[in-house]
Structure 1
Amino acid sequence: LQGGVFTDNISDLGAANDSIGLDGRIVFAPKIGNAQLHLGASGHWRDLGDNITTVRYRQRPLIHSVSTRFINTGNIAGATSETSYGLEAAVISGRFHASAETHWAKVNRMAMPNPTFFGGSVEAGLFLTDDKREYKGGVFKGVKVKNPVGSGGIGAVQFNVRYDRLDLVDAGIIGGTQDGYMASLIWTPVNQVRFLLNYGHLVYGDALGIVPGAPNNYSVDVFGARAQVSF
C-alpha cells in the first residue's frame, strides 16, 4: 500500500496557489513457482484550487527530443478537479516478461460536460542472454548482469515489443487518438549502464488542426537511441 498528499511548493503557497492532490496505490505480488506476478491498482484526485481554471493533456511521439505534440487537447476551460484511476498487471518468468496497464482520467468542470480520457499499453520482452528483469517491493528494478563485459561475457541483451493507445477524444474535446506499435533492443554491458535502440510507428486519428497543415488521420515513424547510467 502506498499513499500521498500533495500540494504546491511551500514557497508558492498562498491565495494564488491552493491546489491539493491525493494519490494511492495497492499492489499484490505473489509468486507461483518460478513466476513473479504483479497486480496493481491506483487512484488520483486533485482539486485545482480557485485560481487554476484550465488543464491540458498532450504527448510527444515516443522521444522527448521532438518538440511537436501530435496529440493535444489544448486548454480545457472550466476545470475544477481531476480524477483518475488505473489497473496494472505483469509477470516475470525466467527470461520472459510481460506487462499491461490501463488508465482513465476524468476532468471535472463547472456547468460543462466532464471528459474522460483513456490510455493503455501491453508489452512483452525476452532476454537473449541468461538474464531476467529484477523485481522487488512492487517495483521493477535494473538488470543484474550475469556475464558482464570485462568478465568474459557480452552483458545482457533484451528485445521488447509494445502496443499502446492514447485516446483524448470525449465530451466535445478533440485531442486526437494515438496508436503506437513499438520495438526496442536493449544492451546492458555492466550493471548501471544501458544502451537502447527504439522504433515506433505511431498512427493518429481525429487529429485535424492539432498540428498545422496535418490531415485528420496520418502516421509518423520514430527512431531513437539512448545511453543511460544509473547510480
Structure 2
Amino acid sequence: MKKLILSMACLGLSLTAYAQNEKDSVRYDQYGIKVDRKPLQTEERNGILVMESKDSNYKLWFDIRVHVDAATFFGQDKDYDPIGDGASIRRARFAVKGQVTPEWYGEVDVNFANGVLELKDAIVRYTGFNDWELQAGNFKENFQLTRNTSSRYQPLMERPMVANNLGPNRSVGVNAKYQKKWIFASYGVFFHAVEDSETRTYVEDNNKDYGRKEGLAHTAKVVFQPLYKSSDASLHLGAAVSRRKPSTDVDPGEYGGVRISTRNATSINRKKYLDTDVIPNVNFSLYSTYEIAGHYKGLRFESAYVQDDVHILKDAPANVNKSVKKFHGGYVMASYLLFGGKQKYDYNGAKFNQVKRGRSWGDIELAARYDYMDLNSGGVLGGSGENYTFGINYYTSKNVRFSLDYQYSNNDRYANGKGKLFVGHDVNGNPTKDPSQVVEADGKAGVDFHMVAARIQIDF
C-alpha cells in the first residue's frame, strides 16, 4: 500500500511539473493568440550579428555600414568657381534582413547619411523554385555590374560616372532571376524610384493633380560565367538593356522629360559639371551596356561601355530637335591585393563580393581606373569629362578598411553645369560660362582639377 501511495504521489508530482512546464512554454501575441515558439542561436559571423534557428529555417541579421569621407581639391583655374574642401558621412546604413522560411526572405535598408533619411531597399523575395528567384519591392535593377556590387566592395571610393545616371539604379518593381552554373539571366518590370520624401511628393503630385500614369521600364540582363567551377578565378561576360518611359518621380513641371547629370568625383564636391538639363518631349530612353570583368586570385578587373539613346516624341513641336540623343560612357579598372589576399565573385548575384585578406594583420590593395562620359549629342550640349583615379586600401579586418584616393578630372567646355559654372575665358580674357565665347589658350578649355580623398569604413 505504501508503495502504491508513493507511486501515485510521484505521478502527481510529475503531472504537476509537466503542466507547469507546458504552461511556461505557452506564449501569446499582442492579440491574445497562442503562437509557436522556436529557440534561436545567436553568434557573430565575420563581424555580423546573426540569430538563427537550429533547423536554419529562420534567420535574422543586421547589416550596418558607416563611411566617413574627407576630400580636398586643387589645381583648377583661379578664375573658375572654387571647389570647397570638406568632410561628410557618406553612408550611415542600417538594414534588417530576415529569412522567415526556407523560401521567403525580406529586407529593409535605410540610409541616415548627413541627417537625411533615404530608403534604399525594401524587398520581398521567394526562392522556392529551383535556380529561380522572384523579387518585389524597391531594389537595384540588374543592369550595371559596378552599380550592383555593394559600396562595401568597391576598390575605389566612388563608382565611375556612368554608374550615377547613365542607367537605372533602384526602383519599385518586380523581377525574376535565373542562375545556374555558367549562366545568369534577369528580367524585371519597374515603376518610379523611391528615394526620399521629395521624390515621393513628386509621384503623389503627378498622380493627384494631373492624373499621370506611371511610366513603365523593362530591364533585362544576361551574364555568361564560364569559370563557375573555379574558386580562384572568374570571368563575367555581360550585356543588359533597359527601355524606360518618362516617370512621375520628377517635379510635375519636368514630367515627360529626362535629365542626365553627374559629379566627377566624391559627393563632397556638389558641382555637377556634366548636366544635360531637362530634355523635354521624350518618348522613351533605351539604355544598353556591355561588360567584361573577372578575377584571378588577388587580381580583379572590370570594364564596361554604356549608352543611352533618348528618343523624342514624333508629335513634338516643330521647333524641337527630334534626332535621337546618343549619350555614352565607359570605364576600365583593375585592382590587386599585395599580400596574398583573394578577390571574390558572387555567381548568384553576378557581382563582386568581400575580399579575403592574405595576412593576419590584413592586406593592402592597389587600384586604378579610367572612366569617361559624353553628354553631347543631338543638339544637347551637356558636356563630357574623363577621370584618372588611383587608390590604396588597407583592410585591417573583415569589417574595417582605410582608403586613400587620388583623382584627376578633365572636363570639356560644355561641362558648365547647365550654364552655371565658368569653363573658360573670352576674347577679352574674362572668365565665361558660355562655351561659345571661350577662346582656348594653350589648348585648354573646361574645368580641370585634382582631388585627394580619404575614407574610414566599418561594416557590422
Q: TM-score, structure 2 length as denominator?
A: 0.46
Cα pair 1:61 1:222 within 8 Å, conserved: no
- Alignment pair present for 1:28 and 2:224: yes
Cα pair 2:382 2:415 within 8 Å, conserved: no
Query: Aligned residue for 2:393?
Result: 186
- Alignment pair present for 1:5 and 2:204: no
- Compute the displacement of 1:191 (Å): 0.8
Cα pair 2:383 2:414 within 8 Å, conserved: yes
Label 1:217 to 1:189 Cα distance change in 2 as closer, same or farther (>3 A). Answer: same
- Compute the displacement of 1:175 (Å): 0.8
- Compute the displacement of 1:206 (Å): 3.5
- Compute the displacement of 1:38 (Å): 0.9
Q: List per-residue Cα deviations over 1:113-151 (Å, max 9, x = no partner).
A: 22010010001111111112111222100112243xxxx
Identity %: 23
Query: Aligned residue for 1:207?
Result: 414
Specify the SS of the correspondent of 1:37.
strand
- Compute the displacement of 1:44 (Å): 0.7
- Alignment pair present for 1:48 and 2:243: no
For structure 1, which runs of at least 5 residues remain unmatched after alignment? 148-152
Query: Aligned residue for 2:354?
Result: 142
- Compute the displacement of 1:35 (Å): 3.0
Deviates more, 1:72-81 or 1:210-219: 210-219
Query: Aligned residue for 2:237?
Result: 39
Query: Aligned residue for 1:150?
Result: none
Label 1:17 to 1:225 Cα distance change in 2 as closer, same or farther (>3 A). Answer: farther
Cα pair 1:155 1:189 within 8 Å, conserved: yes
Label 1:166 to 1:182 Cα distance change in 2 as closer, same or farther (>3 A). Answer: same
What RMSD in Å do the two structures reach over aligned CA positions?
2.2
When Rg is computed on C-alpha atoms for both structures, the one with the higher figure is 2
Query: Aligned residue for 2:447?
Result: 218
Query: Aligned residue for 2:125?
Result: none
- Compute the displacement of 1:212 (Å): 2.4
Specify the SS of the correspondent of 2:340.
coil
The one-letter code of the counterpart of 1:174 is L
Greater share of helix residues, 1 or 2? 2
- Alignment pair present for 1:166 and 2:373: yes
| Aligned pairs, number | 226
In structure 2, how many angstroms separate the alpha carbons of the residues matched to 1:95 and 1:208? 37
Specify the SS of the correspondent of 2:370.
strand
Q: List per-residue Cα deviations over 1:9-34 (Å, max 9, x = no partner).
A: 69848423511111111111122875
- Compute the displacement of 1:95 (Å): 1.5
In structure 2, how many angstroms separate the alpha carbons of the residues matched to 1:208 and 1:40? 30
Q: TM-score, structure 1 length as denominator?
A: 0.89
The one-letter code of the counterpart of 1:46 is R
- Alignment pair present for 1:18 and 2:214: yes
For structure 2, which runs of at least 5 residues remain unmatched after alignment? 1-184, 195-199, 317-321, 425-444
The one-letter code of the counterpart of 1:119 is G
In structure 1, how many angstroms separate the alpha carbons of the residues matched to 2:415 and 2:331? 24
